Amino acid sequence: MDHADLWAQLSESEKKIMREMSEDKSIAENLINSLFPDVYGNDEVKLGVLLMLFGGVQKRSTADGTTLRGDINVCLIGDPSTAKSQILKTVEHFSPRAVYTSGKASSAAGLTAAVVKDEESFEFVIEAGALMLADNGVCCIDEFDKMDLRDQVAIHEAMEQQTISITKAGVKATLNARASILAAANPVGGRYDRSRPLKNNIQLSAPIMSRFDLFFVLVDECNEVSFYFCLDLKISDAAGMLLVSEYKRLRMSDSNNSATSSWRITVRQLESLIRLSEALARLHCESEVS
């Protein structure tokens, strides 16, 4: 379905809204805020993901028939608890065609395609992988750095030529994988080291890195904590301030002893404190955390 068909399916009121939105000078900011309302800050990252969703224009050479992809590949690298997976999940739910997978649990065949024998006909058939299923859409790959190096090599063709070539068990085929890749990866050692270059902070090969158009580094810095209340969260002001104070103490202790600490204190620990406080209130049959 092309743009003309999509436009023809819209009602007059929807077309009017679309025209008004296109004339709005703040359309980029509005789209960013609408797409990631629960992710605070990181506007450059949100803009990069939005550009990936819009994509570029595929170009074809008339001389030799070579094509240059128009899809944009984005890689998010950062410390734990910096909303990487949340961004991937948001894109998966928002995009009309998207596939979410984990690099740690996916093999080369699971990402590209596999040749299997059909149980009924006993013939070899092609089983689509994540990149094939995301054709003309987005393939979100979490834990990208946990992929085996052999599996990374398997997606070289899909990331650049946007095709998957198979020659196995008498089956020879070239399949389309015209998908943008949104990947999330953790740095080496679990923390991003600002004193080292990007390539030394991530376990990705040079050919894979060259196939990404945008890299974003998300660092969990020990800044001042702003405590906010969820809509249905019943926590007294005094208890809320105590939770924030304890979380700040843990963060400062982690910052001062970063070399010896066994793990990083992140927002997840604040969420853990809240959950434990709520459970304790339920244990005492209280309707409010006090």
Ordered domains of the chain (ranges, CATH): 1-35 (no CATH), 39-218 (3.40.50.300), 222-290 (no CATH)
Is residue 231 predicted with pLDDT exceeding 50? no
Section 206-221 average pLDDT? 87
pLDDT: which is higher, 270 or 286: 270
pLDDT greater at residue 1 or residue 65: 65
- Residue 50, C-beta contacts closer than 8 angstroms, at least 6 positions apart: 28, 31, 32, 35
Angstrom distance (rounded) from CA 49 to CA 126: 31
pLDDT of residue 98: 92
Q: What is the pLDDT of residue 228?
A: 42
Residue 57 pLDDT > 80, yes or no? no
What pTM value is reported for the model? Answer: 0.73
Q: How confident is the model at residue 256 (pLDDT cuts 50, 70, 90)?
A: low
244-274 burial by CB neighbour count: b if 16+ within 10 A, else e? eeebeeebeebeeeeeeeeebbbeebbeebb
Position 227 scores a pLDDT of 43
Tokens of 131: 């990149």
Q: What is the mean pLDDT of residues 64-76?
A: 84
Q: Residue 175: its pLDDT value, please?
A: 86
Signed CA dihedral, 214, 220, 223, 224: sign only? positive
* Whole-number pLDDT of residue 229: 39
Query: At a CB cut-off of 8 Å and minimum separation 6, what does 73 contact?
Result: 52, 159, 180, 181, 182, 183, 211, 212, 213, 214
pLDDT exceeds 50 at position 230: no
Please, what is the end-to-end C-alpha distance for the chain in angstroms? 57
Report whether pLDDT(165) > 80: yes
The arithmetic mean of pLDDT across residues 65-80, rounded, is: 85
